[in-house]
């Protein structure tokens, strides 16, 4: 076989491996958002209270965000492919159990288990990209594409779940995660290179326990602010308990020989700003879906299918911007593209806050401009920030980078939603998020 032919085979295998890993990453976020639109149907069918629905909607994200850092370290310790396989098995079993749930308890347990499996899969998949693309330049281009996969998965979850629940049942929304996990289990051993486990790396079990418990407990406290006042015991006890555990976690990390999250990892200014950009962009897109879905249901009385159709331009702009991001990053740099994306997203949020929620303004003039500008900016911001987070990270810490990136993506909306709820209006929440995006854009622009 000639050298050119060998390179072509290698390139084809790289593309197939990246497509598989990308589909897995997008599916993890699809699973997070897939029950948002059909949640009222689930409540009616299972006879759930409002508090039950809040807990059910948050369950996947709580274990997902809480275990991500530990999942990243497991991927670094045992190798990306082994961690990916173990996580996929767990994720697939939970995805098969969820649609069979007869009531809240079983469905809640399945969603918690799905999140735990996803917490191992997500950082392992990102670390596996590093084993597929050995060249730093090729890896950088791959990460530019990787950054937009999560928001694409979230968009698909919101769009398709409404269609699926309208024509079939909300239970069928779990079919896609199960199928993707099964396919990935078959193809991963053939496409993803195996690596030698890092026997010298120890697992920071005390840090993992403290970090996971702290993130999960504090996250639960923030989630229940939707139904309880901040001064209630139901909010204060988990919030203060989680905060205390996180403080203990940080103290333990400073003293650990091989910490779960090395304190120096986020001391790099551009990396810290990239993590903030990811958290804010995730919050912006999630907030937009929640606010506009409720607005279209309750304010304009649109059915589920029409609501899903209203977000089609959002998806188109997202995909187009994601495809354009990689060449723009090569030309202008990841910091500049991230800053520009944040600025565009901020402008989109301001448009939505000023005209999108006015029922007197027709969809093409009120909602549509913001629904195009926001995702275009968010996709560019995610792409550039993913490159910034992974730049300069040693190969044996690729799982850590994946864990930090995904933790920001999952915990950002949880924390910021609770804060934004205190503003009292949807327009104010959108505008405040836009202002935060603009502030980080200015800081990143100064480093570009």
pLDDT tens readout for residues 181-193:
999 999 988 888 8
> What is the per-residue pLDDT for 9?
43
> What is the per-residue pLDDT for 187?
92
Has residue 174 been placed in a domain?
Answer: yes
| Residue 333 and residue 262 share a domain | yes
* 165 three-state secondary structure: helix
Of 249-258, 271-280, 419-428, the range with the lowest mean pLDDT is 419-428
> What is the per-residue pLDDT for 158?
67
| Residue 296 and residue 173 share a domain | yes
Query: Which of 60 and 2 is assigned the larger pLDDT?
Result: 60
pLDDT band for position 198 (cuts 50, 70, 90): low
Has residue 198 been placed in a domain?
Answer: no
| Residue 427 and residue 398 share a domain | yes
| Residue 166 and residue 52 share a domain | yes
Give which of 234, 307, 227 is closest to 53, Cα–Cα.
227
Domain CATH for 295: 1.20.1250.20
Has residue 360 been placed in a domain?
Answer: yes
Give which of 41, 46, 43, 302 is closest to 167, Cα–Cα.
41
pLDDT band for position 94 (cuts 50, 70, 90): very high
**Domain containing 238: what range?**
204-257
Residue ranges of alpha helices (H) inside 256-362 are: 269-294, 304-310, 312-332, 334-351
* Angle (CA) 184 405 146, round 5°: 50
> What is the per-residue pLDDT for 182?
94
Query: pLDDT tens, 119-160?
Result: 899 889 988 888 888 777 777 777 777 766 767 777 777 677
State how many domains the chain has.
2
| Residue 19 and residue 127 share a domain | yes
> What is the per-residue pLDDT for 32?
78
Terminal CA-to-CA distance of the chain, rounded, Å? Answer: 44
| Residue 214 and residue 182 share a domain | no
| Residue 408 and residue 294 share a domain | yes
| Residue 146 and residue 247 share a domain | no
Averaged pLDDT for residues 416-430: 71
Domain boundary among 257, 277, 298: 257
What CA–CA distance (Å, rounded) separates 129 from 106?
Answer: 34
- CA max distance for the chain: 71
Has residue 199 been placed in a domain?
Answer: no
| Residue 427 and residue 281 share a domain | yes
Averaged pLDDT for residues 411-426: 69
pLDDT band for position 6 (cuts 50, 70, 90): very low
Has residue 227 been placed in a domain?
Answer: yes
| Residue 264 and residue 157 share a domain | yes
- Summary mean pLDDT of the chain: 81
What CA–CA distance (Å, rounded) separates 323 from 300?
Answer: 33
Has residue 34 been placed in a domain?
Answer: yes
Has residue 5 been placed in a domain?
Answer: no
Q: Select, from the ranges 16-25, 36-45, 248-257, 289-298, the one with the highest average predicted confidence (pLDDT).
A: 16-25
Burial of 205 (0-12, 13-18, 19+ CB in 10 A): exposed
| Residue 62 and residue 126 share a domain | yes
Has residue 242 been placed in a domain?
Answer: yes
| Residue 219 and residue 110 share a domain | no
């Amino acid at each position: 076989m000639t050298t050119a032919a060998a390179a072509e085979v290698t390139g084809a295998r790289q593309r197939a491996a990246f497509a598989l890993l990308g589909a897995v990453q997008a599916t993890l976020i699809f699973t997070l958002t897939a029950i948002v639109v059909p949640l009222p149907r689930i409540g009616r069918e299972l006879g759930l209270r409002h508090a039950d629905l809040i807990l059910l909607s948050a369950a996947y994200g709580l274990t997902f965000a809480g275990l991500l850092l530990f999942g990243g370290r497991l991927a670094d310790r045992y190798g990306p492919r082994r961690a990916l396989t173990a996580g996929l098995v767990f994720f697939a079993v939970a995805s098969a159990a969820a649609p069979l749930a007869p009531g809240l308890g079983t469905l809640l347990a399945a969603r918690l288990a799905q999140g735990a499996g996803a917490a191992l899969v997500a950082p392992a998949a990102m670390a596996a990209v590093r084993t597929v693309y050995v060249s730093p330049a090729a890896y950088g281009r791959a990460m530019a594409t990787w950054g937009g996969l999560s928001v694409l998965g979230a968009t698909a979850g919101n769009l398709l779940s409404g269609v699926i629940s309208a024509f079939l049942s909300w239970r069928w929304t779990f079919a896609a995660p199960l199928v993707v996990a099964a396919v990935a289990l078959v193809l991963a051993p053939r496409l993803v290179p195996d690596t030698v486990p890092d026997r010298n790396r120890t697992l920071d079990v005390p840090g993992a326990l403290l970090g996971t418990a702290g993130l999960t407990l504090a996250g639960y406290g923030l989630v229940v602010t939707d139904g309880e006042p901040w001064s209630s015991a139901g909010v204060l006890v988990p919030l203060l308990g989680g905060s205390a555990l996180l403080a203990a976690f940080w103290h333990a990390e400073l003293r650990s020989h091989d910490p779960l999250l090395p304190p120096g990892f986020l001391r790099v200014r551009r990396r810290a700003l990239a993590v903030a950009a990811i958290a804010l962009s995730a919050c912006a897109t999630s907030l937009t879906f929640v606010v506009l879905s409720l607005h279209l249901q309750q304010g304009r009385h649109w059915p589920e299918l029409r609501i899903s159709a209203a977000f089609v331009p959002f998806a188109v702009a997202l995909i187009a911007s994601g495809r354009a991001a990689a060449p723009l990053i090569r030309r202008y740099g990841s910091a500049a593209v991230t800053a520009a994306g944040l600025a565009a997203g901020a402008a989109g949020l301001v448009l939505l806050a000023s005209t999108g929620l006015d029922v007197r303004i027709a969809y093409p003039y009120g909602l549509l401009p913001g629904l195009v500008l926001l995702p275009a900016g968010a996709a560019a911001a995610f792409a550039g920030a993913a490159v910034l987070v992974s730049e300069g990270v040693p190969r044996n810490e690729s799982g850590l980078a994946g864990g930090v990136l995904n933790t920001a993506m999952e915990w950002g909306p949880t924390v910021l939603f609770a804060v934004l709820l205190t503003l009292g209006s949807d327009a104010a929440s959108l505008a405040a998020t836009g202002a935060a995006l603009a502030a980080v854009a200015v800081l990143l622009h100064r480093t570009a």
